[in-house]
Structures are given as structure tokens and as C-alpha cells.
């Protein structure tokens, strides 16, 4: 048991979760109090003692599932209904398309299977859904032992064959029939949400099934390695998948809120300033003119004015989006925020953010409505900067901090780096944020250091963590 847990904790640490020694000891003690056959309770016991941040829970769950999928069985922890997992896999490896738990399902035609799936979803029959998920994976995923492809590939193949979209439509249709007549739009929406959540459950079931089989095929350690996903705050902006993008978007709001609280606090609890003579004399009157209680002036650091100039061409669009989102989410910490976006032309987009309270919507409008194409829609930093300087350069004041966002891949156009130099002369600070890893800078058509020598700082900014650190630095 000790070895098992120690290995599990190793795995968690490798996945990036901070697990301290005391937490380790707590976990050991906790499992002593939990009936070992109860898999759920076991999981929560480990979770409560080892994971102290909700953002890490998902990672924990995956590692838990993978790690205890096979090894747990030796210790009788795996009370899941497919304890026969090993046997199943054995059969499959001999090339027999059989699922142990399916109970005679392999004889079904695809049509019958689809019918059963439909009925299981309509009745929310969980046991049936689980069996069907297993069957679907066996049938459609076409898993071959030793084949070096990721689980997502198998997932895609399975889902393509199940046509869940179609099933959803059919379910909706039957709901309409049941209601004998038209559903109101509200009912329609509720029904759809209900079915969508059931289908999401099915999807998860399928994913878990695929993962189980991959574990059986490749072994726990190899599998755990491939499943090691970065935490949301460590996801690289430029290579995030759709799903990760969603997670990032959700992560940004709480992060911004936290940062805003921290900054406000920092502003209030600044160190003591110089002696306030007036106030000291005024207070000394109550002590008969003896300045018993010295008063100090508290520094009130001015809130900076921010101008964000962002490249929104394809490769760095996501990065620009997140930065804009983030800066606006804490805009209360700045006296004023203005935003400009460019590809080869440049446009001010502040109006989108002022028009609505909903940052998401504003960011969306920036992407669809801003007028940023001048010639061909390939990044031209030189032209965009010159244009910026001519039209808005005089509005940059010594109170302004200018933040330039982009990878500085200029497609071999003229750099016009003098603009950045002029900006710096006029503004309080000029910063450059580059979403590329530092080792790529100045390779190919990237000319970041040409601009960089005119900036107060050039920062690598590849994930939320780095972005947060930077914003804290300037505010």
C-alpha cells in the first residue's frame, strides 16, 4: 500500500502538482480511515489531502484513473464493474473483436446498436450507456496494440461512427412528438440541454474506456507520461487546442479578479511616505503642542494609462485576445486603457470595449469588425507602427505605458523601428510582449531585437502565468 501511494504521489508531482511531505503523510493516514473497496471515497480522501487547488483537480482525476486502473486491482481498490479489464484486453490483443462486458452485443448490426444507443440516451440508462460506450470503442475505434497514436485519434474515430449530432436531433424530434405539438422555445432549450448533458456523459464514458484500454496496452507509466497535460495557467497560447482555449478563457476571469484585489491592496498598503508636517502640527495641538504623534504622507502611486497595440494576425491572434481580455478585466487598476490592433493596417478598438460591459463580446467584435487589412493581410509591423505614430502618436504622454504585442515576424518588410524609439521618448514605458519562446526570437523573419533595443523591456509571454506576472509588474 505504501509503495502504491508513494508511486502515485511521484506521478502527481511529475504532472506538475505541488505535493508536500506533510500532505503525503496526511494522505497515508487518510486512506487508513477509508474502506478500501470504496473507490469513490478513496479518491476523495486522496483528493482532499493532496490537491489544494481546484484547477488541479482535473489533472488529479486523470492521474488517479490511469494509475489505479491496473495497479489498483492488485490491492482490491478497483471495484469498478470492469475488474475483468485484464481479460478483455487479452482477448482483444488476439484480434478478437469482443467486449467482455457487452453481453452479446457483438452480434448486433450497426443499426440495432444505434437504436439501442438512442434508447439508452432517451431513458438516461447509465448502465446501458456504459456498456454501449464499451461496445462502440471495440467496434469503431480500431485500436491496435502498440500503435503510437494518441487517445484523441481513437476518440475521433469512435464519435464519427456514432453520429451523436444525428442522435441529438432524433431525441429532440421525439421530445417534440411526445409533447404533441410544438414545444415552446424554453422547453425546447431545456430538452436540448438535458440531452446534451447525457451525450456529454456518454462521451466521457467513451474517453475513459479508450484510456483504460490504452493503459492496458502500453502500461501505466507510458500512459501517464502521455496524459501529462499542462495546467491551465501553463498552457502555451500559440499551441492551445480548442478545449484548452476554453479552459483558458474560463481561467482568465478569476485570475484577473485575484490580480486586481492584489494590486488594490498593494496600492493601499504601500510603505510609509515622508513626514506630513501640517498634519503633525495639527495633531500636536491635542497634546498641548508636543508633536507626540508624527503623521506621514502616504504615497498614492498614480494609476498608469495603458495603450495596448496588438498584432492580431493568425499565428498570434489567440495571444492578443487573451492579453486584451486580461488588461480590460483589470482596467479598474488603470486610469485609462486604449487598445489598437493591426495586421498590416491599424485600427483603434477601444470603442468596442466601451460599448459593452461584456469583455467576451468586445473581444469577439475586435476579431470580426476591426479594420486592419491594408494590402494583403500579412503582418507588416513597419507600416502599422508608422500609421500609429502619424495618427495617434501625439496622444502618447509621459503618463502612458505602451504595450506592444506580437512575434515581430515582419515578412521581411521594413521595420521602421524608429517609431518605437520615438514612442519611448514620449511615453513613460514601452514594453514588448512576445508569445514565442525566447529561443525562436530573431530566427527567420522575426526582428524582435530590432524593436527591442528601443523598449524598456521585452518579455517572453507564452502562458497565463507569465502574462499575470507582467501585468503585476506594470500596474
Partner 1 sequence: MSANEHRFESVATVREGLRSVDYLADDGIAGVVYLADRLQKPVLVEGPAGTGKTELAKSVALATGARLIRLQCYEGLDESKALYEWNYKKQLLRIQAERNAAGWSEIEDDIFSEEFLLTRPLLEAIRADEPVVLLVDEVDRVEVETEALLLEVLSDYQVSVPELGTVSATQIPLVFLTSNNTRELSEALKRRCLYLHVDYPDLEREKEIVLTKVPGVSENLADQIARIVRSIRQIELKKAPSVSETLDWARTLLLLGIDSIDAEQAKDTLHILLKYRTDIVKAEKELSAG
Give the binding site for partner 1 (CB under 8 A): 18, 20, 22-23, 26, 29-30, 33-35, 38, 40-41, 44-45, 47-49, 51-54, 57, 184-186, 188-190, 192-194, 197, 254, 257-258, 261-262, 265, 269, 356-358, 360
Gap between the Cα atoms of 294 and 401, Å rounded = 36
**Shortest distance (Å) from residue 372 CB to partner 1:** 26
Gap between the Cα atoms of 96 and 441, Å rounded = 52
Q: Which residues contact 386 (CB under 8 A, 6 or more apart)?
A: 416, 419
192 versus 283: smaller Cβ distance to partner 1 = 192
**Shortest distance (Å) from residue 388 CB to partner 1:** 31
Identify which of 93, 102, 117, 204 has the alpha carbon closest to the alpha carbon of residue 165: 117
**Shortest distance (Å) from residue 358 CB to partner 1:** 6
Residue 391 CB coordination number (10 Å) = 13
44 versus 277: smaller Cβ distance to partner 1 = 44
168 versus 373: smaller Cβ distance to partner 1 = 168
Gap between the Cα atoms of 414 and 419, Å rounded = 12
356 versus 390: smaller Cβ distance to partner 1 = 356
197 versus 241: smaller Cβ distance to partner 1 = 197
176 versus 424: smaller Cβ distance to partner 1 = 176
**Shortest distance (Å) from residue 308 CB to partner 1:** 22
Q: Which residues contact 221 (CB under 8 A, 6 or more apart)?
A: none
**Shortest distance (Å) from residue 43 CB to partner 1:** 9
Gap between the Cα atoms of 466 and 472, Å rounded = 10
**Shortest distance (Å) from residue 254 CB to partner 1:** 7
Gap between the Cα atoms of 248 and 329, Å rounded = 14
265 versus 391: smaller Cβ distance to partner 1 = 265
Gap between the Cα atoms of 218 and 214, Å rounded = 6
Task: Write down the residue that cell numbers 495546467 correspond to.
Answer: 231
For every residue of 134-167, DSSP letters joined together read HHHIIIII---TT----HHHHHHHHHHHHTHHHH
**Shortest distance (Å) from residue 189 CB to partner 1:** 5
Query: What sign for the dihedral angle of Cα 215, 219, 221, 226?
Result: negative
Amino acid at each position: 500500500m505504501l509503495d502504491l501511494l508513494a508511486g502515485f504521489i511521484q506521478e502527481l508531482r511529475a504532472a506538475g502538482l505541488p505535493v508536500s511531505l506533510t500532505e503525503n503523510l496526511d494522505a497515508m493516514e487518510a486512506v487508513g480511515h477509508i474502506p478500501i473497496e470504496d473507490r469513490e471515497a478513496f479518491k476523495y480522501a486522496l483528493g482532499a489531502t493532496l490537491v489544494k487547488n481546484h484547477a488541479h483537480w482535473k489533472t488529479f482525476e486523470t492521474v488517479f484513473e490511469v494509475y489505479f486502473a491496473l495497479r489498483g486491482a492488485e490491492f482490491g481498490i478497483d471495484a469498478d464493474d470492469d475488474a475483468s479489464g485484464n481479460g478483455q484486453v487479452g482477448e482483444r490483443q488476439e484480434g478478437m473483436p469482443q467486449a467482455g462486458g457487452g453481453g452479446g452485443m457483438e452480434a448486433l448490426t450497426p443499426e440495432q446498436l444505434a437504436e439501442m444507443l438512442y434508447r439508452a440516451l432517451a431513458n438516461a440508462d447509465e448502465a446501458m450507456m456504459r456498456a454501449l460506450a464499451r461496445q462502440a470503442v471495440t467496434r469503431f475505434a480500431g485500436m491496435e496494440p502498440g500503435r503510437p497514436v494518441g487517445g484523441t485519434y481513437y476518440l475521433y474515430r469512435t464519435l464519427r461512427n456514432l453520429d451523436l449530432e444525428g442522435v441529438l436531433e432524433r431525441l429532440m424530434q421525439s421530445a417534440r412528438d411526445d409533447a404533441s405539438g410544438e414545444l415552446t422555445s424554453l422547453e425546447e432549450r431545456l430538452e436540448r440541454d438535458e440531452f446534451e448533458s447525457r451525450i456529454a456523459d456518454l462521451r466521457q464514458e467513451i474517453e475513459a474506456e479508450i484510456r483504460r484500454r490504452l493503459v492496458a496496452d502500453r502500461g501505466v507509466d507510458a500512459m501517464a507520461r502521455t496524459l501529462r497535460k499542462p495546467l491551465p495557467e501553463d498552457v502555451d497560447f500559440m499551441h492551445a487546442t480548442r478545449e484548452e482555449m476554453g479552459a483558458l478563457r474560463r481561467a482568465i476571469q478569476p485570475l484577473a479578479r485575484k490580480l486586481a484585489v492584489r494590486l488594490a491592496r498593494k496600492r493601499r498598503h504601500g510603505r510609509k511616505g515622508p513626514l506630513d508636517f501640517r498634519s503633525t502640527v495639527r495633531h500636536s495641538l491635542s497634546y498641548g503642542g508636543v508633536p507626540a504623534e508624527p503623521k506621514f504622507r502616504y504615497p498614492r502611486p498614480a494609476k498608469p494609462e495603458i495603450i495596448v497595440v496588438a498584432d492580431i494576425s493568425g499565428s498570434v491572434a489567440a495571444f492578443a485576445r487573451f492579453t486584451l481580455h486580461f488588461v480590460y478585466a483589470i482596467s479598474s487598476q488603470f486610469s485609462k486603457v486604449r487598445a489598437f490592433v493591426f495586421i498590416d493596417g491599424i485600427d483603434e478598438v477601444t470603442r468596442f470595449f466601451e460599448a459593452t460591459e461584456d469583455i467576451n463580446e468586445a473581444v469577439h467584435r475586435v476579431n470580426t469588425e476591426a479594420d486592419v487589412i491594408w494590402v494583403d493581410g500579412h503582418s507588416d509591423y513597419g507600416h502599422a507602427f508608422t500609421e500609429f505614430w502619424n495618427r495617434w502618436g501625439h496622444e502618447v504622454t509621459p503618463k502612458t505605458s505602451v504595450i506592444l504585442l506580437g512575434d515581430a515576424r515582419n515578412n521581411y518588410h521594413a521595420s521602421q523601428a524608429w517609431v518605437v524609439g520615438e514612442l519611448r521618448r514620449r511615453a513613460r514605458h514601452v514594453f514588448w510582449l512576445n508569445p514565442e519562446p525566447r529561443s525562436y526570437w530573431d530566427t527567420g523573419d522575426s526582428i524582435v531585437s530590432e524593436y527591442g533595443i528601443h523598449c524598456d523591456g521585452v518579455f517572453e509571454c507564452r502562458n497565463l502565468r507569465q502574462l499575470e506576472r507582467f501585468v503585476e509588474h506594470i500596474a
